[in-house]
Amino acid sequence: MDHLRVDVFDNGAVRLGTNLVCDGYAEGFDFRVQTHIHDDHMGDFNRSKGLQDIFMSRETKALLIAELNADIEYRDNIISLGWGEEKELEDGTKLTFVRSGHMLGSTQVVVEYPDGLRCGYSGDFSWPINDVIQVDELVVDSTYGSSASIRKYSQGEAESCLLEIVSQRLRHGSVHIHAHRGTIERVLHILSANIGVPILGSKRLISEISVYQANGFALGSVTSTDSEKGRVALNGKSYVRLYAKGDGFRNELIEGTSISCSAFMTKPDNPVVEYSEKAFGVALTNHADFEGTIEYIRATGAKKIVTDNTRSHGVDLAVAVNSLISDAYAQPSSNHPAFTVR
């Protein structure tokens, strides 16, 4: 394949051309895009803050501020963009963000060069989504790029299973639910109107949830574990407690039932794994599976595809794209990540 303008560096930074990287730092690149706030995409963020202009959606910026990165609000090299707004950068390229459906603020990225070539990065994305970027060259997330990653149940079914387990286990005591940021807000949305017990969370989580609420998400209220009301509920054993990043799940002794919500697919036809009568996994995820990933790539119209090999499955996905999409050519990114993120 001829020379591509897109690739992924060893540190996981996604390169769209010669001057812009996504979700990482690269020497000599003026611009960084932050696609969303998950930790595995935040590499070298502080370094970028000192050395690059950083672009992100307004929602991502609000979430980072809520995470106590107070200086973000006042830095003039941190620039937020609206959905679909085309931003011309100093080097003559044009940058556009399109929602990726993965969590609040998460974006797909398009950089259009003065010669008309359009380079894109999917970021983490869910499927189906309303708007798909239209590009010539694409870097695609390959987290579920293996054909073993096909889910034979819908996310609606996974949500019903979660609600059923929570309702059932609340008869035996408290329920403790752990999920990634973004997914934990979905859990709250599912439970809010449907269970008659207090829902507890950390102050950190409550400030994150308030950003979702400010952006139009109808989420029920969460009581702080540090408040008087929260302490009373904690003594009563009839409550649900939510945990995300930094909330200490597994560091404390849990007397009730614990439920982890993540995208694991040990059983492709059942969203629930029962570890014991007090411990469950529910496959709630905001990531496209293998089939969704292929459909997504088709929908972008990209003819040259780099599968991001940072989180494994890049090779599997490139092979699959080459056999399933006839007029496109895919290759795994050239990076050699030092370790594989699960």
Question: Which listed range, 117-125, 238-246, 247-255, 322-330, lies at the site for Zn ion (CB under 5 A)?
Answer: 117-125
Instruction: Please choose, out of 22-30, 35-43, 58-66, 268-276, the segment that lies near Zn ion by the rule CB under 5 A.
Output: 35-43
- Of the two residues 225 and 335, which places its CB atom closer to Zn ion in the complex? 335
Q: Does 176 bind Zn ion (CB under 5 A)?
A: no
* Nearest distance in Å: CB 8, Zn ion: 13
Q: How far is the CB of 204 from Zn ion (least distance, A)?
A: 18
Binding footprint of Zn ion, residue count (CB under 5 A): 3
Site for Zn ion in 37-76 (CB under 5 A): 38, 40
Spell out a b/e string for 235-273, using b for 16 or more CB atoms within 10 Å of the CB, else e: eeeebbbbbbbebebeeeebebbbbbbbbebeeeebbbe
Nearer to Zn ion, 102 or 241 (CB): 102
Q: Tell which positions 124-143 bind Zn ion, by CB under 5 A.
A: 124
CA 30 to chain centre: 25
Contact 141, 309 (CB under 8 A): no
Contact region with Zn ion (CB under 5 A), list: 3-11, 116-124, 145-153, 252-260: 116-124
Shortest CB 41 distance to Zn ion, Å: 6
**Burial class (CB within 10 angstroms; exposed 0-12, middle 13-18, buried 19+) of 327:** exposed
Orientation of helix 183-192 relative to helix 155-169, angle to 10° = 60
Q: Which is nearer to Zn ion, 182 or 198 (CB)?
A: 182
Least distance in angstroms from the C-beta of 14 to Zn ion: 11
Interface contacts to Zn ion, rule CB under 5 A? 38, 40, 124
